[in-house]
């Protein structure tokens, strides 16, 4: 940690700060210039957590050297995290595609969708059983009934399943059924939920909040990792901006920024990012070109009658042709799909 003093700082003020640093067991490196004085606190700077150095008399600013997201930062595992979900390797050279309906509706619809997306090359089946709807009067999901349908679809197709957890009270139930817990955009900063998910050790897909910065997303991942669970996928799903042409604005630059900052795999959800099925293909292409490790795409066999997000859902035939196009882009960037 580097502490920069004000021009006006007195020798007594500088000594007071260096004493505080030494008290917690760190060494001090003093650099006294003609204009300003700088102090380097050498050693484990976490020992200074909770010490309000910036508020001490004479201090101009305090600059941490370490990232505040210690467990998920790139330096912790420069080779990148790769983990296995029922035989599906997340974070490796192969780009993994999560596909399925926004919400689980009926056995017939889910199984039809699951079989088709699997045949097209998707490796993980999605489907919401607990839905975070803006209106309390909209379809809220089938709850455990939906989880049972997902499990049945898994048994039929062999695809691992992912579904959203909204409430820590449902954690044990969800863990019985799903292979990956999804934390939705609206819960990205539900810190108690993140801690519980961290303790569970289940793989997690953490979506970026609607108005969360990249640093905030990483700090939320850190909550999960702090409990010993680093099987985390980060998912950029569009952020809220002034632009109204799309449901959200896909922050495509989040992919290379995150890949440079963290060892965790990074996925893109072009469906929620745009809210428009016709934009899913171009943004999926962009996502792979820019280095995403996977995609989450909403697919529905009958989008006109979907109970949720039909307007952004691809029909299975469209998803199939998209997968063919994406294969070429993956090859161009040295990856498989």
Answer with the entry of ligand PEP, Mn ion, none that 185 interacts with (C-beta below 5 to 8 A by kind).
ligand PEP
Beta partners for 180?
162
Distance in angstroms (rounded) separating the CA atoms of residues 48 and 50: 6
Name residues contacting Mn ion, limited to 270-309 (CB under 5 A). 309
Residue 131 C-beta: closest distance to ligand PEP, Å: 7
Distance in angstroms (rounded) separating the CA atoms of residues 313 and 278: 9
Distance in angstroms (rounded) separating the CA atoms of residues 309 and 179: 23
Closest CA to 220 of 185, 176, 248: 185
Alpha helix stretches (DSSP H) within the chain: 11-23, 107-120, 144-157, 171-177, 191-200, 214-225, 254-261, 270-274, 280-289, 316-332
- Closer of 26 and 307 to Mn ion (Cβ): 307
Instruction: Name the helix (H) or strand (E) containing 207.
Output: strand 204-207
Of the candidate residues 154, 237, 247, 259, the single one contacting ligand PEP (CB under 6 A): 237
Of the candidate residues 128, 198, 265, 316, the single one contacting ligand PEP (CB under 6 A): 128
Q: Is 71 in the site for ligand PEP (CB under 6 A)?
A: no
The values of phi and psi at residue 241, to 5°, are -130, -170
Could you tell me how many residues of this chain bind ligand PEP (CB under 6 A)?
A: 11
Q: Write the binding mask 270 to 309 for ligand PEP: x where contact by CB under 6 A, - elsewhere.
A: --x-------------------------------------
Of the candidate residues 58, 101, 146, 184, the single one contacting ligand PEP (CB under 6 A): 184
- Closer of 58 and 238 to ligand PEP (Cβ): 238
Q: Write the binding mask 130 to 149 for ligand PEP: x where contact by CB under 6 A, - elsewhere.
A: --x-----------------
Q: Is 158 in the site for ligand PEP (CB under 6 A)?
A: no
Of the candidate residues 17, 41, 73, 102, the single one contacting ligand PEP (CB under 6 A): 102
- Closer of 237 and 259 to ligand PEP (Cβ): 237
Name residues contacting Mn ion, limited to 2-31 (CB under 5 A). none
Q: Is 247 in the site for ligand PEP (CB under 6 A)?
A: no
Distance in angstroms (rounded) separating the CA atoms of residues 173 and 45: 40
Which are the contacts of 155, defined by CB distance < 8 A and separation ≥ 6?
none
Q: Is 207 in the site for ligand PEP (CB under 6 A)?
A: yes
Distance in angstroms (rounded) separating the CA atoms of residues 111 and 97: 17
Contacts with Mn ion by CB under 5 A lie at: 102, 309
């Amino acid at each position: 940690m580097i502490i920069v003093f004000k021009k006006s700082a007195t020798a007594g003020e500088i000594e007071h700060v260096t004493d505080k640093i030494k008290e917690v067991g760190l060494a001090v490196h003093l650099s006294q210039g003609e204009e300003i004085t700088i102090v380097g606190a050498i050693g484990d700077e976490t020992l200074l957590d909770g010490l309000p150095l910036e508020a001490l008399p004479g201090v101009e600013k305090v600059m941490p050297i370490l990232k505040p997201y210690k467990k998920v930062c790139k330096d912790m595992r420069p080779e990148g995290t790769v983990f296995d979900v029922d035989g599906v390797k997340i974070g490796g050279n192969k780009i993994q595609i999560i596909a399925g309906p926004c919400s689980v509706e009926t056995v017939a619809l889910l199984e039809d969708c699951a079989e088709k997306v699997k045949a097209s090359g998707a490796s993980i089946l999605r489907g919401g059983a607990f839905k975070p709807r803006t209106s309390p009067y909209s379809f809220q999901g089938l709850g455990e009934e939906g989880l049972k349908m997902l499990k049945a679809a898994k048994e039929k197709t062999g695809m691992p399943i992912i579904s959203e957890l909204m409430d820590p009270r449902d954690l044990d139930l969800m863990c019985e059924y799903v292979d990956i817990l999804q934390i939705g955009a609206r819960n990205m900063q539900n810190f108690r939920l993140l801690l519980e998910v961290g303790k569970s050790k289940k793989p997690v897909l953490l979506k970026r909040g609607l108005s969360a910065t990249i640093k905030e997303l990483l700090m939320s991942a850190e909550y999960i990792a702090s409990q010993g669970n680093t099987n985390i996928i980060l998912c950029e799903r569009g952020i809220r901006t002034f632009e109204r042409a799309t449901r959200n604005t896909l922050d495509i630059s989040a992919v290379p920024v995150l890949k440079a900052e963290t060892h965790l795999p990074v996925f893109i959800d072009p469906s929620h990012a745009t809210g428009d099925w016709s934009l899913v293909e171009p943004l999926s292409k962009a996502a792979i070109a820019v280095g995403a490790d996977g995609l989450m795409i909403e697919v529905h066999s009958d989008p006109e009658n979907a109970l949720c997000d039909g307007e952004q859902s691809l029909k299975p035939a469209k998803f199939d042709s998209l997968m063919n196009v994406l294969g070429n882009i993956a090859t161009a960037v040295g990856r498989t799909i």
